[in-house]
């Protein structure tokens, strides 16, 4: 997920996003599609189940956000580590979407 988010950040800076807004761009990349309806169906908001919060910005601002949220038992910070096969497939899918456009 971290790499897909980085792709969205780079695309925003270079003016090459898949959508008009970074949140939809990230959703498209996570789903590995250029179709918004399909992306929402695949990885969009669901009432039940876990949720993901992605925070990007200056390191000090993200650190401040993490400090403010650290006592919330509903949240779990994902540690950096090795990518799983599913993670790699997600990154590959996001790269393919970018290549098709």
> What does pLDDT average to in each consecutive run of 10 residues of the chain (101 residues)?
79 89 88 89 77 74 87 77 71 66 56
Q: How many residues does this entry show for the chain? A: 101
pTM here? Answer: 0.60
What's the distance, Cα to Cα, between the start and end of the chain in Å?
A: 21
Q: What is the pLDDT of residue 2?
A: 67
Q: What is the pLDDT of residue 81?
A: 64
């Amino acid at each position: 997920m971290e790499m897909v988010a980085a792709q969205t950040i780079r695309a925003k800076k270079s003016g090459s996003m898949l959508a008009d807004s970074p949140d939809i761009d990230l959703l498209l990349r996570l789903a590995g599609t250029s179709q918004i309806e399909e992306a929402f169906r695949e990885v969009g908001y669901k009432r039940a189940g876990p949720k993901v919060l992605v925070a990007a910005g200056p390191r000090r601002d993200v650190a401040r956000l993490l400090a403010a949220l650290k006592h919330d038992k509903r949240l779990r910070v994902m540690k950096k580590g090795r990518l799983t096969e599913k993670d790699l497939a997600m990154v590959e899918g996001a790269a393919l979407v970018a290549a098709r456009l």
